């Protein structure tokens, strides 16, 4: 079944910059897709539009049969930004609780969900720590827990590990693969690393600034594909 469909999507920003000129793409449930391409080719823009964080100028995007951003429930999408973007004044627990709080869940109702999400990333014992006490990799794990706490089916990651050292990045890549496998997720992973895209995904979607759309769409047959 098709989860995401982009049809001839164009995006021009208010200042006149054209980021996408006719991007079309279908993503099936359970795929791990990477968007690969040089800086400025529109990867982030495409991802934000799938999440409904940016509108399209023309064309259409549907997610699970609904126009992007108008799905049954925003809870269905988890989004991980490039920087960990944690609230420095709040504990790990409070940071991960935030999306549930915004949906009106009380702390007591949310606690088991927050604990489950922290356990998923190996940080069950760090609920009361503050972001400044954590390593870069651990902060990124907290932001993955925050994205997973609403139990999304779709996880969107925008160059999440670009700022981390190579060892940490490699560990986190394996952890993301485990999450994908164990939770039946669909993942879109934005990167400009050829290595990362090939290592992680079952399908590499290559984009270029000119023409501002998909230039190659490569299915990999190395066994990462969920069955
Ligand atoms: P990538 O993620 O591939 O690096 P982006 O999607 O961030 O590329 O950007 C695509 C193009 O759109 C770039 O030229 C960028 O400068 C421009 N752009 C991105 N966001 C904005 C914005 N809010 N306003 C104007 N131009 C933008
Ligand atoms: P990074 O992923 O940023 O490289 P590491 O996972 O290598 O971080 O851990 C850096 C330090 O933080 C380690 O020396 C370890 O003591 C501590 N640490 C990281 N994750 C955990 C964890 N889940 N439980 C306990 N300590 C941890």
* Beta-strand relationship, 66-67 and 77-80: unpaired
* pLDDT > 50? residue 103: yes
* ipTM score for this prediction: 0.79
Distance 206 CA to ligand 1 centre (A): 16
In tens, the pLDDT along 59-100 reads: 999 999 999 988 666 558 999 998 878 999 999 999 999 999
Nearest-CA residue for ligand 1 atom 10 is 42
* Beta-strand relationship, 203-208 and 32-36: parallel
Q: What is the pTM of this model?
A: 0.90
Q: Which long-range contacts link 46-53 to residues 24+ away (Cβ below 8 Å)?
A: 46/6, 46/9, 46/20, 46/207, 47/156, 47/158, 47/188, 47/190, 48/158, 49/6, 49/9, 49/11, 50/4, 50/6, 50/156, 50/188, 51/77, 51/79, 51/156, 52/77, 53/79
Distance 173 CA to ligand 1 centre (A): 25
Ligand 2, atom nearest to 172 Cα: 2
Local confidence band at 14 (pLDDT 50, 70, 90 cut-offs): very high
Measured CA to CA, the distance from residue 48 to residue 27 in angstroms comes to 16
Average pLDDT over residues 1-27: 97
Average pLDDT over residues 163-187: 95
Report how far apart, in Å, the C-alpha atoms of 207 and of each of 7, 19, 66, 156, 202 are.
Answer: 15, 11, 25, 17, 16
Give the ligand with the smallest distance to the CA of 140. 2
End-to-end alpha carbon distance in the chain: 13
Measured CA to CA, the distance from residue 157 to residue 141 in angstroms comes to 12
* pLDDT > 60? residue 185: yes
């Amino acid at each position: 079944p098709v989860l995401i469909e982009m049809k001839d999507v164009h995006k021009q920003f208010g200042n006149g910059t054209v980021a996408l000129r006719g991007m079309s793409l279908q993503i099936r449930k359970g795929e791990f897709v990477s968007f690969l391409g040089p800086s400025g080719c529109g990867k982030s823009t495409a991802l934000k539009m799938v999440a409904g964080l940016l509108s399209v100028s023309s064309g259409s995007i549907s997610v699970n049969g609904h126009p992007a951003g108008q799905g049954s429930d925003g809870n269905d999408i988890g989004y991980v930004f490039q920087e960990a973007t944690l609230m420095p004044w709040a504990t790990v627990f409070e940071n991960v609780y935030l999306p549930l709080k915004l949906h009106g869940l009380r702390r007591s109702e949310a606690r088991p969900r927050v604990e489950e999400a922290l356990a998923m990333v190996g940080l069950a014992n760090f609920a009361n720590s503050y972001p400044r006490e954590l390593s870069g990799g651990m902060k990124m794990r907290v932001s993955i827990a925050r994205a997973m706490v609403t139990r999304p089916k779709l996880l969107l990651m925008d160059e999440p590990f670009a700022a981390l050292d190579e060892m940490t990045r490699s560990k986190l890549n394996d952890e993301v693969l485990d999450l994908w496998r164990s939770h039946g997720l669909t993942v879109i992973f934005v990167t400009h690393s050829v290595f990362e895209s090939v290592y992680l995904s079952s399908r590499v979607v290559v984009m270029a600034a000119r023409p501002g759309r998909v230039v190659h769409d490569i299915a990999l047959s190395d066994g990462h594909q969920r069955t």
